[in-house]
């Protein structure tokens, strides 16, 4: 492969010695590629964020629910949080035990609460109405009711886009701290054991101030209600950001600083309050985003007025973040020489280019006005940092199938971890169809 724009993945040996072209010939284009070493590294950073035995990192499976990746994350010593029956099945099938699963859901049916309670260590509910439903549906009439956790809205939000700020008055999440006494009343009414409290301020913060401030608020709330001695879990949520602007050398979240401050806060508070339980964080993106990269192929280039388009087989159905949040994914460019003596990198003047997909919507843009070396037909593009909220959010819109997912294992071996969908898969739920 010629080095047109690939220094970042080369430095990381992301493809483990395989060329993107060879991987695409073997597994088809587009293709999700994950790197085991990077996944392990980031999982371990979250696991070790706080130096206290009572601290646990809990991977948020909504970021990526591929069971093979979940199995690796579990082997690094993380717990997991799931938020739907589908995620519960994925985490169970990857080996997580009931004790290792936290179920953090919102707005669900009584049947789902019953199933979640059976399958997890504890279920978190995020409104007084859901707490009532939990009390009515889960082991009704039992002498000793089920254990439950409640999600608090700390009033402080954080995140890269309004759509992912998950605390504060404008969001749908959580129970107001002022309603804590009602929480206790409902628990008493149904003999529920309040096992924990949790919160999540939002997704993708690069400065930890709001996270720490919200953590302090949650601890104050528990302390002021005199409940510290009775709880088993205090869960501060996720949101830890990653630097998406790789080629601009964007700085990483300062984990050393955050870890030190957070450790101090938790240590002092648990001593003061004789807290017997565990502290949890729920990172999703930080653990898996950088381990993933989406390969696609350039099918056409053209100019529409002043805009130069590079048109690919990567639609927003399989990479939804740019369309959904105007999110930025850095792009690499790879090209194999067509023949001996050919130099595919020659004459590639940098220019502003807009990268589009193959979906029938004008919003199907993956990168807008990026100054990159000239992109040509048959180039392979690599959309970086696509290991979180990418495949997990994909759809079959326009009836385009989802790509395969492969893993570059620590020793460089390539493993298929999800096959490419087929058109027949898209029809498999429709009764009495013929094709």
Ligand X SMILES: Cc1ncc(COP(=O)(O)O)c(C=O)c1O
Q: How far is the CB of 213 from ligand X (least distance, A)?
A: 17
**By CB under 6 A, residue 320 contacts ligand X:** no
Using the rule CB under 6 A, give the single segment among 199-207, 243-251, 254-262, 352-360 that binds ligand X.
199-207
- Name 272's Cβ contacts closer than 8 Å, sequence gap at least 6: 223
Instruction: For residues 422 and 104, give the distance between their C-alpha atoms in angstroms, rounded to a whole number.
Output: 32
104 versus 293: smaller Cβ distance to ligand X: 104
Residues 6 to 25 in contact with ligand X, rule: CB under 6 A: none
The one among 94, 203, 317, 394 contacting ligand X by CB under 6 A: 203
Q: Residue 156 in contact with residue 202, Cβ under 8 Å? A: no
Q: Which one-letter DSSP state was computed for residue 247?
A: G
Instruction: For residues 150 and 148, give the distance between their C-alpha atoms in angstroms, rounded to a whole number.
Output: 7
Q: Residue 310 in contact with residue 335, Cβ under 8 Å? A: no
Q: Catalytic site residues?
A: 360
Q: What angle, rounded to 10 degrees, do the helices at 110-119 and 85-93 form?
A: 20
Instruction: For residues 358 and 312, give the distance between their C-alpha atoms in angstroms, rounded to a whole number.
Output: 6
Cα dist. 140→127, 146, 191, 369 in Å? 19, 9, 9, 58
**By CB under 6 A, residue 244 contacts ligand X:** no
Residues 74 to 133 in contact with ligand X, rule: CB under 6 A: 104
**By CB under 6 A, residue 283 contacts ligand X:** yes
Q: How far is the CB of 241 from ligand X (least distance, A)?
A: 8
408 - beta bridge partners?
35, 414
31 versus 294: smaller Cβ distance to ligand X: 294
Residue owning tokens 């409902």: 186
Using the rule CB under 6 A, give the single segment among 1-9, 36-44, 55-63, 263-271 that binds ligand X.
55-63
Residues 145 to 174 in contact with ligand X, rule: CB under 6 A: 166
190 versus 389: smaller Cβ distance to ligand X: 389
**By CB under 6 A, residue 200 contacts ligand X:** yes
Q: How far is the CB of 240 from ligand X (least distance, A)?
A: 6
**By CB under 6 A, residue 387 contacts ligand X:** no
Q: Which one-letter DSSP state was computed for residue 153?
A: -
201 versus 355: smaller Cβ distance to ligand X: 201
The one among 47, 56, 121, 285 contacting ligand X by CB under 6 A: 285
Helix, strand and coil percent figures for the chain, each rounded to 5 = 35, 25, 40
Tokens in use for 162? 């309004």
Q: Residue 202 in contact with residue 165, Cβ under 8 Å? A: yes
200 versus 246: smaller Cβ distance to ligand X: 200
Instruction: List contacts with ligand X (CB under 6 A).
Output: 60, 62-63, 104, 166, 200, 203-204, 237-240, 282-286
């Amino acid at each position: 492969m010629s080095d047109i724009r690939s220094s970042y993945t080369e430095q990381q040996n992301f493809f483990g010695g395989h060329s993107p072209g060879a991987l695409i010939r073997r597994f088809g284009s587009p293709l999700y590629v994950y790197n085991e070493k990077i996944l392990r590294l980031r999982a371990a950073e979250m696991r070790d964020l706080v130096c206290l035995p009572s601290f646990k990192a809990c991977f948020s499976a909504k970021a990526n629910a591929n069971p093979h990746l979940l199995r690796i994350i579990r082997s690094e010593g993380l717990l997991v949080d799931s938020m739907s029956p589908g995620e519960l099945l994925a985490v169970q099938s990857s080996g997580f035990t009931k004790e290792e699963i936290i179920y953090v859901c919102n707005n669900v049916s009584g049947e789902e609460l019953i199933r979640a309670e059976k399958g997890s260590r504890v279920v978190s509910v995020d409104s007084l109405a859901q707490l009532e439903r939990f009390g009515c549906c889960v082991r009704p009439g039992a002498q000793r009711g089920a254990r439950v956790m409640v999600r608090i809205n700390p009033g402080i939000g954080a995140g890269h886009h309004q759509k992912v700020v998950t605390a504060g008055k404008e969001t749908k999440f959580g129970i107001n701290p002022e309603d804590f006494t009602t929480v206790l009343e409902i628990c008493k009414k149904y003999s529920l054991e309040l096992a924990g409290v949790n919160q999540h301020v939002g997704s993708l913060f690069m400065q930890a101030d709001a996270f720490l401030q919200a953590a302090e608020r949650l601890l104050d709330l528990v302390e002021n209600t005199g409940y510290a001695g009775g709880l088993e879990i205090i869960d501060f949520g996720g949101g830890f950001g990653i630097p998406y602007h790789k080629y601009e050398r964007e700085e990483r979240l300062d984990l050393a600083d955050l870890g030190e401050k957070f450790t101090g806060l938790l240590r002092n508070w648990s001593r003061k309050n004789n807290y017997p339980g565990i502290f949890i964080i729920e990172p999703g993106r930080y653990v898996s985003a950088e381990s993933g990269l989406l390969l696609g192929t350039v099918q056409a280039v053209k100019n529409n007025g002043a805009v130069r388009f590079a048109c690919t087989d990567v639609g927003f159905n399989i990479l939804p973040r740019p369309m959904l949040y105007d999110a930025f994914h850095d792009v690499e460019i790879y090209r194999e020489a067509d023949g001996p003596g050919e130099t595919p990198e020659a004459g590639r003047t940098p220019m502003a280019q807009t990268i589009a997909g193959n979906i029938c919507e004008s919003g199907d843009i993956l990168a807008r006005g990026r100054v990159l070396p000239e992109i040509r037909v048959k180039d392979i593009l690599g959309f970086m940092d696509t290991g979180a909220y990418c495949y997990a959010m994909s759809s079959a819109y326009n009836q385009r199938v989802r790509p395969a997912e492969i893993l570059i294992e620590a020793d460089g071996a390539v493993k298929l971890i999800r096959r490419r969908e087929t058109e027949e898969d898209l029809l498999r739920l429709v009764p009495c169809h013929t094709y």
